[in-house]
Every structure is written in C-alpha cells, then in structure tokens.
Amino acid sequence: MKPPAFEYRRPETLEEAVGLLAEHGDEARILAGGQSLVPLLSFRMARPGLLIDINRCLELDHIELDDGRLAMGSLTRHRSVERLAGLSDRCPVMMEAVRQIGHVAIRNRGTVGGSIAHADPAAEWPLLALVLDARFEVTSARGTRAIPAQEMFSSYLQTSIGTDEILTRLEFPLPPLRAGSAFVEIARRHGDFAMSGAAAVIDVEDGKVVDARVGLMSAALTPVRAAEAESILIGHEPTDDVLGRAAAAVDGAIAPLDDVHASAEYKRHLAQITTKRALTSARDRARGAG
C-alpha cells in the first residue's frame, strides 16, 4: 500500500504544466487533489513515470457565478463550491450533488477538474456535467479546444482528453430559476460510492414540462443521459403517472455491472427508484407547476 517510485514536478503556471505534458505526456499523470489518483498509486494500479503536481498552478483555482452560468478553474476544490455564496439559491442541484461527494476531508482536497478527468461513473461531477450540458476547455502546446460534456466520457475512467492535454476550465449553463431539480443517491453509508444515483431537472410552464433532463450514475461504464425518459416528460403534465413512466424508461439507457456492493440486477432496480425520487423532488420544486 505504498506508491511506486515516480519523478515529481511541481509547475507553478499552466504554461509550465503544458510544457511538461508536451514532453512527457505518455508517461505522465496530472496530480490535482489526489483523492482518486493516490489510492490508484498505492494499489499500484497506476504507475506513471512522472507526476505533474498542479496544486500550485493557482490560475486554475477560481470560480465565478453569474446569472446564467457558473464557470470554474479545474483546480477548484469541492469544498470551495460547497461554500460558494448564492449557489444554493441559483443552482440547488449542484449544491445537493457536491454535499454527497465523499466526506469533508475528501472535499477539502478533491478538485472538480480531477473528478471530471478521472471519469468515475459513480462520481457526482461527471453526471452533473452531463445533465447540465457543461462545456470543458482543455489546453495543450497545440492550443485550446472545447469539449462538450456529451463527448467527454468515452468509457470507464476514460475521457476524450488527450495525453498532452490538461483540463483547465469548466462552464455550467444554469437551468432557469423556476426549474426544479434534484440529485438523489443511494449508498450504504453517507459518503460511500453510490450504488445508484440520479439527477433530474424539470422546467414547467403552464402546467406542462418544457424541458427535462434525466441522468444516472453507477449505472454503466460512464454516466448516462436517459433521452427516452426525457422525451416522455416533455410536453406533458408532470403527474405521478408520467414520472413513473419516465423512470421506467431509464431501464433501456443503462447497463450496470456487478460489483462487491450490489449486483447488476439490484442496481437496475435501484436506478428506477433513484430516478423516480429525483423526478418527484424536481417536479415538486419546479415553480411553473401552476
């Protein structure tokens, strides 16, 4: 349970970090909060030749909330988001998700960008990004490009970030204030990896759903959006019956795997329960319900 030997560099600017990646990208790993990478090192499941510690690249640690969006540097700690004034009012689903990330000691260190780049399908940020249609920026010596959340998560712990690229910025368009939202997880203990989790956003106008987002975690190799469930909701009154049909429809969007905490069959069962709970809370919180 000790990390293998590696070279260690601690750049103080993004430019320096990008230079190191251009030279050593294939053998290097970026160390941000370390809450996922260091256990992987200790288990010897990751054996990078070089660790590029970006914790002192302070230009990547910033957060801005305005009317329509929340933008963050990739080094923003979960705890900084949790402490952000106004977030509970402006984007309650994000606060609800962040408070379910691990424990305080993990949220003090872990970073938003690290969670996205690690791409654990049982993690909160990847699902939140997918459901809120977030947009990412990655930088390399070749330049900067944008990646929409829909194109980010390619497989288990895999993203479309290249080996010479670094995630620098995340931008979340925020749902309208009148929309209702919820982030619901089922875990054996608070802070454990969820056996199932669902995020939902429902916007209602004149009694009918005008926008619906539904997504699941711990339900496949990546976080998933449940497009069929969304289309069942849009254009209809969000009655218990409609929500129930939408929750049932997530079954076709997921492909859970057995693990030590729950069988695939049980996770399939839980997916409908977390979805139904998330949809019900989101509907009840929506202001346009008339």
Which residues lie near other proteins (CB under 8 A)? Answer: 1-8, 10, 31, 34-35, 38-39, 41-43, 51, 53, 55, 79, 102-106, 108-109, 189-191
Residue with tokens 């349970």: 1
| CA atoms of 151 and 220, how far apart (whole Å) | 16
- Nearer residue to other proteins within complex by CB, 42 or 163: 42
Q: 98 or 202, CB closer to other proteins?
A: 98
Minimum Å distance from CB 41 to other proteins? 8
Q: In what order do the strands lie in the sheet with 224-225?
A: 180-186, 196-205, 208-217, 224-225
Nearer to other proteins, 108 or 140 (CB): 108
Residue count of the chain, please give it: 290
Name the minimum Å distance from CB 79 to other proteins: 8
The answer to whether residues 128 and 173 touch, using CB atoms and an 8 Å cutoff, is no
Question: Alpha carbon 274 to chain centroid distance?
Answer: 17
Nearer to other proteins, 191 or 288 (CB): 191
Q: How far is the CB of 203 from other proteins (least distance, A)?
A: 30
The b-or-e profile of 152-166 (16+ CB within 10 A means b, else e) is: bbeeeeebebeebbb
Complex with other proteins: residue 3 or 288, whichever CB lies closer: 3
Min dist CB 34 to other proteins, Å, is 5
Residues 42, 95 contacting (CB under 8 angstroms): no
Strand order in the sheet with 143-148: 63-65, 69-73, 166-173, 135-140, 143-148
- Nearer to other proteins (CB atom), residue 6 or residue 266: 6
Choose among 148, 51, 132, 137: nearest CA to 93.
132
Smallest gap from Cβ 52 to other proteins, in A, equals: 12
CB of 101 to other proteins, least distance (A): 11
